[in-house]
Amino acid sequence: MIEKVREAFNEHFKQENYENLKNDLAQIVGEPCAFRISETPFFISKKLKKEVFDACDAIVEQLWEIDFNEIRERFIPKKLQSPLALGNPHFLAIDFGICEDGNGGIAPKLIELQSFPSLFLYQALLGKTFLKNYPQIPQEGFHYFFNGLDEAGYLEELRRVIVGDENPEQVVLLEIFPEKQKTRIDFWVTKQALGIEVLCLTKVIKEGKNLFYEKEGRKIKIKRIYNRVILDELLQMPDLKTDFNLTDDVEVDWVTHPDWFFMISKCIMPMLKHKNIPQSYYLNDFPKELDLSTYVLKPLFSFAGKGINLNPTLEFIEGIVDKHNYILQSKVRYVPIVKTPSGANSKVELRILYTWSEKEGRLMPVINLTRMNKGDLINVSYLSNDDWVGSSISFFEK
């Protein structure tokens, strides 16, 4: 964090800045945001920025040393595997907690990673709206886009990845009851920005290997799916009636292939090594002398932080039948780093978002998502009843 920037921001903060931010977003998308937005962005110094991206580079490099075909067979049940060609992952999210480094300073510590699209279009809008409504945010010398992208370049990058060469009408953002999802603000922003349809899984029509949806009395063929369906959530709806399943053999391009959600996730955490990666073990293969009080128990496949046990015991672990579906991860101590008017500082989790660059043949960082909380879990589903917490964005010092 940058002390002088934080002090200037807090000194000049006005509640009307925040209300205007929320009102602008609601006016653009047609409804208020369904999750809490923090009153403040996070400001990241050059030093912390370098450590974040050094860790990111090391993680991405190690990904390609992993045999993902082996991971696929090991962790994804056959009945949940898609028969379609895997291809490259279109997206990657790397989550860091801003934590104690053990020497009185701060350091980014890997919390988890996933190959699933996050709030890509919404985050760009949020950054722009922060700048519009908060005059105390420096207009020069900071950025929230990466790789030299600006607003126009970023939009073009997302259009290339999501729409590709297809007619936007034949590209759909696929979700389960999208109008009920907390993240739906991103759906509406994506529809506005890219001209694609937001479609519920229950509305997909399957004819042989082809998929269609109806719009204004027309049946439109789907050629490309921007997949936002989280399979864990889908599996909790066994009575959901659909023509089409994610595991069907159909003629469509996935953005991104459903199996990547499982393969680049918490399940590979024990395989990654770096000073910014906490030690982790598979629950069916951990040292018996391990001090469990210093570890957190996580299910491999869950969303919104569900199923996390912050204080696992041996008795609790012994009661778990499917131990291969869990990991133990060394606890980290988040630093309450963001000064707030209430006196209780907020903790920060930083998500670096990547897209796959066909031109460069690699995953490329493009933007960030930031979350703040004052409780034990930093997640929009576990917010404390306080202010200066919630979803946000970080401004990086150039």
Please classify residue 261 by burial: count the beta carbons closer than 10 Å to its beta carbon, then call 0-12 exposed, 13-18 middle and 19+ buried: buried
DSSP 186: H
Identify the three-state secondary structure at position 238: coil
Helix ranges, 163-241 (H): 184-194, 231-235
> Which pLDDT value is given to residue 229?
93
Rounded to the nearest integer, the mean pLDDT of the chain is 92
Amino acid at 32: P
pLDDT at 135: 95
Q: How confident is the model at residue 376 (pLDDT cuts 50, 70, 90)?
A: low
As a whole number, mean pLDDT of residues 166-172 equals 98
Edge-first strand listing for the sheet containing 295-299 = 280-282, 326-330, 295-299
Query: Do the strands 224-227 and 171-175 form a parallel or antiparallel pair, or are they unpaired?
Result: parallel
Report residue 79's pLDDT band, with 50, 70 and 90 as the boundaries.
confident
CB 151 within 8 A of CB 128: yes
Burial class, 314, CB count within 10 angstroms (exposed 0-12 / middle 13-18 / buried 19+):
exposed
pLDDT digits (tens, 9 = 90+) for 336-364: 999 999 888 999 999 999 999 988 899 99
**What pLDDT shows up at residue 378?**
58
Predicted confidence at residue 382, as pLDDT, reads 47
pTM (2 decimals)?
0.93
Percentage of residues in the chain having pLDDT higher than 90: 78
CATH of range 164-255; options 3.40.50.11290, 3.40.47.10, 2.40.128.20, 3.40.640.10: 3.40.50.11290
**Which range is least confidently modeled, 124-128, 223-227, 376-380?**
376-380
Q: Give the residue, 75 or 20, on which the prediction is more confident.
A: 20
Give me the residue spans of the domains in the chain: 1-162+264-277+349-398, 164-255, 279-331
User: Which residue in 37, 9, 88, 35 sits closest to 370, CA to CA?
Assistant: 37
Is 70 exceeded by the pLDDT of residue 384? no
Instruction: Report residue 238's pLDDT band, with 50, 70 and 90 as the boundaries.
Output: confident
